[in-house]
Amino acid sequence: MNKKTLVPILVVAIIISFTAGFYVSKSSRPAVEQVILVNNAELNKPGRVDFSLFWDAWKLVEDKFINRSKLEAQKMVYGAISGMLRALGDPYTVFLPPEENKKFSEDMKGEFGGIGAEIGIRKDVLTIISPLEGSPAKKAGLLPQDKILKVDDKSTDNITIDEAISLIRGPKGTEVKLTIFREGWKDTKDFKIIRDIIKVPVLKWELKDKDIAHIQLYHFTENSDLEFKKAVQEILNSNAKKILLDLRGNPGGYLETATEIASWFTEKGQTIAVEDFGDSKKTEYKSEGYAKLMSFPVVVLVDSGSASASEILAGALRDLRGIKLVGTKTFGKGSVQQLEQMRGGASIKITVAKWLTPSGKSIMDDGLEPDVKIELTEDDINNNRDPQLDKALEMLR
C-alpha cells in the first residue's frame, strides 16, 4: 500500500472511529426527556423528569433572544446550576462560579474588610443574625433580626448568602449603605457604615454580686476552647460559685469548639450534639468530661442572635443538666455545610446535615424557645438597661 492510499484510509478510519464513539456515547445515556432519579429518598422509587423542557428553553433563547450574539454558554450553564440549587429552598446551598470560588477561598485564608455582622436568610429575607462585639455594625446600631432590604440601593430580593457577603464586604475605609427594616418601625432606615478589618472577639468574663461569674462568649472560633479553658482556671481561682453563660449575639462557629466548651459542664461520654445526615446516618459528638464546672449552678442567656454552635451548646446544657435558658428565641441555624470543588474551578457549598440536641430536637429553622422569655427593647438598649441580664442574675441569686 503506497503513501497516497494510506493517508485517506487512515482519515476514513479516524472518522469511522469517532462516529462509532459518538454513537456509543449517545446510545449509552438515557434520552434527555427521561432522566432517572435513582436516589429519590422521599418516594423510595425511581421517578422520571421531563428534561427536554430545559433544552427547549435553551434552544428558544438561542433562536429568539434579542441579544443572541452576546450569549455566553458557560454563563448560562452556571446560571442553570444556580437556579437548580435555589429551587431546593435552602439558602445555604449555593453554586460558586470560578471567580466567586477563588474569592471565597482567599477570604477563608486571610483578613477581609467588612462591617462585622453575621447574616442569614430568615423567611426568604436577608437578616442580621448578630453584629459582632466592637464591630462597625455594632457601633452603627444594627441589631439581631434587622432585615436588610437593600445594599447600596441594590435590592436583596432572592439574594443568596454569598452574593450578599460579596456586596457587603469591601476594602477597609470604604462605605456601604444598608437599607434596614426593624420590627416596630413604620419605614425603613438607611445605615451608612465604614468598613474595617474584622477581628472576631472570643470572650470576656467578670465577677458580679461577688460570686457570679458572668461569661460573655462571642464566637466559636478555633481558639475559643483555649480561651474558655483559661477563663475556667481564673474562675476556679476566684470567689465564683455560680455561672451566668451569656450566648446572646453569638452567631456560632465550630461545632467541635462547642463540644469542648460543653465538656466543662458535663460528664465524659455524654452526647453533646448529633449530626444527622439523613438515611439513618448520624455522627455523635461526645463530652470530653472535663467537668470542672459541673457543681456550679448555671443560667444561660440567649436571644435571636444566638445561632449555630451557640444553639448546640445551649440545647445540650438544657437537655443534659436541666439548665434554664433566659431571653428570647434563638435564630435557628442548625445545618452543616460542605464545600465541594467542581470542574473548571467552580464549587458547590451544599448542606449535608442538620444538627440535633442530645434529646433529638432539630434547631434548624425553629430555634430554641427560652424557659424564661424576657424581651430586650430598643428603649432598653438606648437607656443602657438589660432586663434579661437582671432576670438571669435574680434566678442565680
Active site residues: 308, 319, 333
Query: Please, which residues have CB within 8 angstroms of residue 21's CB and are 6 or more apart in sequence?
Result: none
Gap between the Cα atoms of 269 and 307, Å rounded:
24
Query: Please, which residues have CB within 8 angstroms of residue 19's CB and are 6 or more apart in sequence?
Result: none
Gap between the Cα atoms of 310 and 130, Å rounded:
12
Report the sign of the C-alpha dihedral through residues 310, 127, 329, 358, in that order: negative
Gap between the Cα atoms of 273 and 357, Å rounded:
5
CB neighbours of residue 321 within 10 Å:
16
Characterize the bridge pairing of strands 147-151 and 154-155: antiparallel
Gap between the Cα atoms of 206 and 239, Å rounded:
11
Gap between the Cα atoms of 39 and 372, Å rounded:
44
Gap between the Cα atoms of 120 and 131, Å rounded:
12
Gap between the Cα atoms of 197 and 114, Å rounded:
6
Question: Which strand (E) or helix (H) includes residue 103?
Answer: helix 98-109
Gap between the Cα atoms of 90 and 15, Å rounded:
47
Q: Which three cell numbers stand for residue 161?
A: 448568602
Residue in 382, 397, 343 with CA at minimum distance from that of residue 81: 343
Report the sign of the C-alpha dihedral through residues 66, 72, 73, 74, in that order: negative
